[in-house]
Amino acid sequence: MSTIARRHRPIAAPTVGRVAALATATLVAATLVAAPAAAQDTPQGIRPYRFTVEPFLTQLWLDDGVGDRETVGGLGARVLFNRSDAAEVTRSLFGRASTGAYLAYTGEQGGVSTLQVGVLAQSSLLAGPAARGVLDPMVSLGIGAFRIDRDGVGAETDLAVTPGIGTRLRIFEGFGLRGDVRVPISFGTNTRAHPTAEGGLYFSF
pTM of the model: 0.71
Over the stretch 126-158, which tens digit does the pLDDT of each residue have? 877 788 778 989 999 999 999 999 998 899 999
Mean pLDDT of the chain: 78
Nearest CA to 203 out of 165, 164, 166, 170 is that of: 170
DSSP β-bridge partners for residue 193: 185
Looking at residue 33, its pLDDT comes to 36
Kindly report the number of other CB atoms within 10 A of residue 131's CB atom. Answer: 15
DSSP one-letter code for 65: S
DSSP symbols for 109-131: ETTEEEEEEEEEEEEESSSS-HH
Q: Is the pLDDT of residue 175 over 90?
A: yes
Instruction: Out of 46-55, 115-124, 193-202, pick the least confident.
Output: 46-55
Res 116 pLDDT > 60:
yes
Residues 148 and 186: their CA atoms lie apart, in Å, by 10
Q: Is 31 helix (H, G, I), strand (E, B) or coil?
A: helix
Please state the domain extents for the chain.
Answer: 3-204
Rounded Cα gap, residues 115 and 185, in angstroms: 14
Scanning the chain, the segments in alpha helix (DSSP H) are 3-7, 15-31, 34-39, 130-133
CATH of 3-204, one of 2.40.30.10, 2.40.160.20, 1.10.1040.10, 2.60.120.260: 2.40.160.20
Residues 152 and 51: their CA atoms lie apart, in Å, by: 42
